[in-house]
Structure 1
Amino acid sequence: MYKYIRRYSECMEKVRKGGGDNAVLRHTQRNKKLLVWDRLRQLLDGEDFLELSPFAGLGMPYGDVPSAGCITGVGKISGLWCVFIANDATVKGGTAYPITVKKQLRAQDVAIQNHLPCVYLVDSGGGFLPLQAELFPDRNHGGRTFYNEAIMSAMKIPQVAVVCGSCTAGGAYIPTMAEETVMVERIGTIFLGGPPLVKAATGEEVTSEELGGARLHAEVSGCVDHFSAREQEAYECARNIITTLNFELPLEDLSEEQDPLYSSSELHGLAPRDYTHTLDIKLIVSRLTDGSRFQEFKALYGTTLVTGFARIEGHLVGVVANNGELTYEAALKGSHFVQLCDQRGIPLIFLQNTPPYSAVTGTLSQAEINTNRLKAQASMMSAVACASTPKITVVIGGCYGGESYAMCGRSFDPNFLFLWPNARVAAVGPEHSEELSQWAEPEVTLKEKNQMKKRLEEESSAFYSSGRVWDDGVILPKDTRKVSCIMSF
């Protein structure tokens, strides 16, 4: 586990540097702008917020794009939970790559799914044109950002934008489609084409301020609603706007919060080392729940799946946790429990550790067992897919094959999905690579088998997954309790 934690720390250090020392100096000294983390400190109520997908953009085919060039997450602004999307212009000058768009769309999905106000801190040079085919034309490419803005407005989800840098080309639509927009003098600009494009097209020389500065848009075009002379004023203005939204979320009747009897730091030593087995999952549950209390449901039936009720930081939740293979009995039990929580409006937490086995059907009795298990798992998938209660999934070990669907994998649309650093996500485990290669081509060399295994190991890692925004981030095991209570939004 500690090698995964070391890699986690290395990746976190890398993304926190943004575009590097030279880019930071250019951003702060030449352009006189605040760094994205300083902006968020002035916007948010405090440091206690949830960052989403911090490792997005690492290991991409077109090179590393730290944090995908933007910081997204959920935090409190003037006492109200909000989603924030903040461009980091030290990374590639704020240019949007395909992974940037994907991360921004995921943040908007969180706002829509949880009905949370959304605040945009815009400082972007527009799309990275050499990759335009991967970020412009398709359904879930750049234009979806503006579609989502319109849908959110129709749903009465407030949106506020702060223009604190360039806002060029398609990016210009983000602040103009928000309900209220604040713009900072001298550093904020909004235009479809900048001064170089104007000169090339018309021969006219014009400054950025004359073409699309804050005073122009506040006094002449009316594109922005609030003018700020300094950045600090802009974030104070945005906080004041949030106080006028008259947007109250329902309050939950919370019990008094209690710490677990066992320290959450012990979870580091409980992370599965062998993906074909797991420790008793109750050892992990007892380090997440208030007072380590857990009211188990159907404790003696389908014991390879543990289900039950608990409180985490005062919030009542239903826990669905793998304790081995998802057998026929376990899947039936899971279906019943998920439907029960949905009926009662209780949020669900899935702790996923599905074994990478291949179903053997050598005998008629084994084929019957597999068929019954398949039918029961299909019932559980339906229950999970149709449950309207909030769902969060944490992959603590393996996320393999069809069992991951019944346990609310990414394709089953959990509100949030997080991975422990040791987690693996794949159709099969690397140890089954030999079976796969033989099925694909009988005459497979030893070298090809090893290449297949190496590729499976690389592409199933938590960091590979998180770099592509297949999840909402890699978290340390000790932080699982903290992220498990985010359903309070």
Structure 2
Amino acid sequence: MQTIDSYIIKSSAQFQSNQEHMASLLNQLEKHLAEARYEGPEKHIQKAREKDKFLSRERIELLLDRDSPFLELLPLAGIGRDGFGPCGTLVAGIGLVSGKICLIASNIGTKKGGAIDHATVQKHQRIAEIAWENHLPVINLVESAGVNLPEQENIFNNAGTMFREITRRSKLGVPTISIVFGSSTAGGAYIPGMSDYAIFVKDRAQVFLAGPPLVKMATNEDAKAEELGGAHMHSKTSGVSDYLAEDELDGIRKAREIMEFYQPESPQAADREVKPPQHDPEEIHGIVPPDIKQPFDAREIIARVVDDSAFSEFKPDFGSTLVTGYAHINGFKVGIIANNGVLFSDAANKGAHFIQLCNMHRIPLIFFQNITGFMVGKKYEQEGIIKHGAKLINAVANSEVPAITIMTGASYGAGNYAMMGRMYKPRFLFTWPNAKISVMGGEQLAGVMDIIRRAGGKTVDEEQLAADKKALIEDIDYKSTPYYSSGHLWDDGVIRPSDTRTYLSICLEVIHLQQIDSSRNFGVFRM
């Protein structure tokens, strides 16, 4: 494969300006991530310390293998929404436990008692989807007061998927381990109850469908918490608990011991020796311009992500606004599809062809999405841009090889669909802090509405129209930010562009835990 030549000039004013702008975006990202690491008020944390309890993230650190990476998922879920703030009350991510790749979900018991708000139940659903698709064992670190009752109408119907997915994974032979550190009430009792393995911490775990007050109200029976759901009772009488742990460290040790005996499917090994890119990934921060409408060469990004900066480009002289080709990331073969401008008919046909080839050879796909949409206008409509765009969307929708999407810039209109947006089910999707996602840009949408209102034949109040346009632009611009997107779980996290290779490497390790399926069957391609 040919090494990608880089043509950036690091000493140029443009590169320096781009770097400064990205640095300001990264500072904003770090502030939001710091908010997401909040684990509750100091008084609740101090109370936990007095009981010799660890915090949510500390439990994860103790569970993971020494020097294991931890790819946190959905850290900004809930940001900008009503509820419990960014991260919700659940820390989730992927790491190594006893040498096995696991998905770990840890309730934040010191934040709202670990109660589940709307964003948190959505987060549970998404990580269950990730675990199911990638056959990942799940370790739950349980301490939750259950559903946040004032939001129950948004939670109740969705929360049942948490229990369904545990047993679906079990059917596949993929286990769930739950360590119960504190209260797990009502529906939350089914988390350990449906797990393959349940570990209860002595004198701390309390698991019951109804606590003493509700039992008194429902049956007029007086019962103590230990009698209803204590760790001793469940370990020695009910059998809901499989292991009685002396303390939190013992519970974590037992979970690690269980994982030692877990035999995963035969993972696929990397194809070749891993070589770092020849160009520094940090330079990406100087390549990406502040203006979403200003183009940049996708090859400059690829050169800083793939092994040895080596790339075998497919159809390099055809459909130039879409870059396609083969490379290795962390030793794994990948097919790359990257935007280099608006999608024309030739680029759409090229992309559909390349997706078919990757399915033929069972090669995972990486989408670098920076797309303002398909080209419009009389000439392009007459050339059949709709049917050619439909071919690409058809190929994306029916592709069965795993895909990972990185939003590197604009994500507008049907371009989002054609480049493996969220609803087209990529295995993972991450966003850069400069990205924008919307039907179209705020100014363009406001301009369209302006034309429509003026075409209505009525007298236009210019002052009111100007005010409406300004309000619409501000609303669209706010709702197209990566933080609005991440808060609504349209991505799996906002990441530093220079960390893209690291994220892709870990995700590819996860994807290759099982044999890769592919499709040679697609819907009707309108010719």
Normalized against structure 2, the TM-score is what?
A: 0.88
What residue in structure 2 maps to residue 182 of structure 1?
A: 199
Q: Which residue does the alignment assign to 2:441?
A: 429
Deviation at 1:248, TM superposition (A): 3.3
Shift of 1:185: 0.9
Partner of residue 71, structure 1: 91
Q: Which residue of 1 aligns with 2:263?
A: 246
- 8 Å CA contact 2:365–2:401 kept in 1: the answer is yes
Match for residue 52 of structure 1 among 70, 73, 80: 73
Task: Say whether residues 1:475 and 2:495 are aligned partners.
Answer: yes
Measured in 2, the distance between the counterparts of 1:341 and 1:3 equals 38
Query: What's the counterpart of residue 102 of structure 2?
Result: 82
Q: Match for residue 395 of structure 1?
A: 407
What is the CA-CA distance between 1:440 and the residue it aligns to?
Answer: 6.1
The aligned counterpart of 1:169 is: 186
Say which of 450, 453, 460 aligns to 2:480.
460
Matched residue SS, 1:119: strand
Question: Given the alignment, which residue of 125, 128, 134 partners 1:108?
Answer: 128
Q: Which residue of 2 aligns with 1:446?
A: 466
The verdict on how the C-alpha distance between 1:252 and 1:451 changes in structure 2, with shifts beyond 3 A counting, is same
Determine if contact 1:356/1:429 at 8 Å carries over to the other structure. no
Could you tell me which amino acid in structure 1 is paired with residue 49 of structure 2?
A: T
Amino acid at match of 2:361: R
**1:420: which partner in 2?**
432
Structure 2 CA distance for aligned equivalents of residues 276 and 360 of structure 1 = 19
Moved more, 265-274 or 400-409: 265-274
Q: Secondary structure at the match of 2:206?
A: coil
1:27 Cα deviation after fit: 2.7
Give the AA of the match of 2:437: V
Count the aligned residue pairs: 479
**Residue 163 of structure 2 corresponds to residue 146 of structure 1:** yes
Q: CA RMSD in A?
A: 1.7
Change over 3 Å in CA distance of 1:356–1:7 after alignment to 2: farther
Amino acid at match of 2:213: P
SS at match of 1:142: helix
Out of 313, 329, 347, the residue aligned to residue 296 of structure 1 is: 313
Q: Does 2:400 align with 1:380?
A: no
Give the partner amino acid of 2:494. Answer: V
Please point out which of 127, 133, 140 is paired with 2:153: 133
Q: Is the 8 A contact 1:49 1:75 kept in 2?
A: yes
Contact 2:343 2:373 in 1 (8 A): no
Distance, in Å, in 2 between the alignment partners of 1:247 and 1:199 is 46
Structure with bigger RCO (C-alpha 8 Å, 6+ apart): 2
Structure 2 distance, partners of 1:161, 1:14, is 27
Segment drifting more, 149-158 vs 203-212: 203-212
CA distance in structure 1 between the partners assigned to 2:183 and 2:283 by the alignment: 46
- Whether the 8 Å contact between 2:83 and 2:117 is mirrored in structure 1 is no
Residue 17 of structure 2 corresponds to which residue in structure 1?
none
* Uncovered stretches (5+) of structure 2, i.e. residues with no partner: 1-21, 455-459, 511-527
Percent of residue pairs bearing the same amino acid type: 38
Once the two structures are overlaid, the 10-residue window that deviates more, 254-263 or 350-359, is 350-359
Query: Which residue of structure 2 aligns with residue 487 of structure 1?
Result: 508
Are 2:45 and 1:24 equivalent residues in the alignment? yes
Q: Is the 8 A contact 1:396 1:423 kept in 2?
A: yes
Matches within 5 A, 1:325-404: 325-355=342-372, 359-361=376-378, 365-369=379-383, 372-404=384-416
Helix, strand or coil: the match of 1:234? helix
Task: Name the CA shift for 1:329/1:476 in 2 (closer, same or farther; >3 Å).
Answer: same
Which range moved further: 297-306 or 271-280? 271-280
Q: Which moved more, 1:102-111 or 1:158-167?
A: 158-167
- Matches of 2:374 and 2:23, distance apart in 1: 26
- Tell me how far 1:357 sits from its aligned partner: 7.5
Judge conservation of contact 1:277–1:355 (CA < 8 Å) in 2. no
Match of 1:281 in 2: 298
Indicate how the Cα distance of structure 1 residues 205 and 436 shifts in structure 2: closer, same or farther if over 3 A, else same.
farther
SS across alignment from 2:404: strand
Q: 2:25 is matched with which residue?
A: 4
Deviations 1:372-413 (A, max 9, x none): 222122111111121111100000001110011110000100
Counterpart in 2 of 1:310?
327
CA distance in structure 2 between the aligned counterparts of 1:24 and 1:152, rounded to whole angstroms: 34
The letter of the residue matching 1:323 is N
Q: Separation in 1 of the partners of 2:83 and 2:263?
A: 44
Distance in 2 separating the partners of 1:104 and 1:191: 21
Measure, in 2, the Cα distance between the counterparts of 1:186 and 1:101.
Answer: 28
Going from structure 1 to structure 2, the CA distance change for 1:439 and 1:192 (only over 3 Å counts) comes to farther
Aligned equivalents of 1:464 and 1:164: distance in 2?
33
CA distance in 1, matches of 2:287, 2:350: 25
In the aligned structure 2, how far is the partner of 1:440 from the partner of 1:89?
52
Q: SS of the residue aligned with 1:54?
A: coil
Question: In structure 2, do the counterparts of structure 1 residues 43 and 26 end up closer, same or farther at CA, with 3 Å as the change threshold?
Answer: same
- 2:172 aligned partner: 155
Question: For each residue in 1:246-287, what CA deviation from the matched residue of structure 2 results, as whole angstroms up to 9, or x when unmatched?
Answer: 223323143111111111111111224222232111111100
Secondary structure class of the residue paired with 1:339: helix
User: In the alignment, which of 331, 335, 341 is matched to residue 324 of structure 1?
Assistant: 341
Report deviation, 1:106: 0.4
For 1:474 and 1:121, the matched residues in 2 are separated by: 24
Match of 1:216 in 2: 233
Distance 2:83 2:104 in 1: 25
CA contact (8 A) 2:142 2:179 kept: yes
**Paired amino acid for 2:438:** A
CA contact (8 A) 1:15 1:66 kept: yes
Residue 436 of structure 1, CA deviation: 3.8
Amino acid at match of 1:216: M
Query: After the TM superposition, which of the residue ranges 440-449 and 35-44 deviates more from structure 2?
Result: 440-449
| Alpha-carbon distance, 1:63 to partner | 4.0
For residues 309 and 67 of structure 1, what CA distance do their matches in structure 2 show?
36
Name the CA distance, whole Å, in 2 between partners of 1:134 and 1:432.
34
Normalising by the residue count of structure 1, what TM-score does the alignment of the two structures yield?
0.94
C-alpha separation in 2, matches of 1:185 and 1:441: 68
In the TM superposition, residue 327 of structure 1 has moved relative to its aligned partner by 0.9
**What's the offset of the Cα at 1:77?**
1.0
